[in-house]
Amino acid sequence: MSLGCDFAEVQPAAAALRTFLASHGCSPADASDCEIALVEGCNNAIKYAAGKGRLLPVQVRISCSAREIAITIEDHTPGFEWPLQAKLPLPDQEHGRGIFLIQAVMDEANYTIGSAGNRLWMRKLRVPDSPRSPDWSG
């Protein structure tokens, strides 16, 4: 899906993600984690877009298999160096928790800078439903 450079488009994208993951039988916990990662990734893509980059859409791709959920966000920001492990800012700092949250809820994430745009790729390994779930087949 494509998002305009507008924060108002992020929550509808999150809702679409929830619907998509639910239709693929993802657990509520996995869906919640992916929603956090998607929102934080899109927020950064929009916040830091500059110049002509603000006229270009943020491209979001989501894939879901039995084993994992993958989310890709393509942005048109100047790009930045992805930290190996983001640290939380001081408690009174109002910014700087987005990447930490992505890394906290996703199993893997990386960011590549390209001439035509940058790409944030995030992956969540799916957890089987609990034994009491009717979908459990283990």
Partner 1 sequence: MKMNVEGNTVRVSGVKELGAANANQVRDEVKAVMSKGQKNIDFDLSETTFVDSCGLGALISIHKTACSHQGALRLLHPLPPVQQILELTRMHRIFEIVKP
Residue type present at position 77: T
CA distance 104 to 107: 8
What residue has token string 């957890």?
127
CB of 104 to partner 1, least distance (A): 5
Nearer to partner 1, 85 or 137 (CB): 85
Nearer to partner 1, 23 or 93 (CB): 93
Nearer to partner 1, 25 or 96 (CB): 96
Exposure of 34 by Cβ count < 10 A (0-12 exposed, 13-18 middle, 19+ buried)?
buried
Q: Where along the sequence are the contacts to partner 1 (CB under 8 A)?
A: 7-8, 10-11, 14, 32, 35-36, 39-40, 43, 46-47, 88, 91-98, 100-101, 104-105
